[in-house]
Amino acid sequence: MYDMDKETTEGLARVTEAAAEKLESGVVGTYKKIEEGVVGAYKKMENAVVGAYRKVEDSVVGAVLTREGETVEEAKKRLAASAEAARVQGEHSAQAHAKESARIVRENLEASRHAGKR
């Protein structure tokens, strides 16, 4: 083993710490560059896919779902309103069904409670 004085030991510790900080800084910087590249590539791909989907959607709406004299945007708004109305109607229908089911269950429970008392 080497015998080092306190000053040499502290100096080596500072040099080692500085080297570790520089290495850490380099690694973090490299990871940041990789992250930016991956996120950038993902965003480009996402934008391309969404753009292609919208083109296909517009073509289908224009060719199949528009009414005479209606633009694609007007057809989309009409279809969205129709879908929302159907969703709301479905919710109301489901609530009515749940209430009716609960009423039937209550009636059957009440009838079964009184069945043995006849």
Secondary structure (DSSP) of 6-49: HHHHHHHHHHHHHHHHHHHHHHHHHHHHHHHHHHHHHHHHHHHH
The stretch 88-104 carries a mean pLDDT of 94
User: What is the model's pTM?
Assistant: 0.50
The whole-number pLDDT of residue 50 equals: 96
Residue 106: what residue type?
R
Q: Which residues fall within 8 angstroms of residue 4, CB to CB, at 6 or more apart?
A: 12
The whole-number pLDDT of residue 14 equals: 85
How does DSSP classify residue 66?
Answer: P
The more confidently predicted of residues 10 and 98 is 98
Q: What percent of the chain has pLDDT over 70?
A: 97
Residue 116, pLDDT above cutoff 80: no
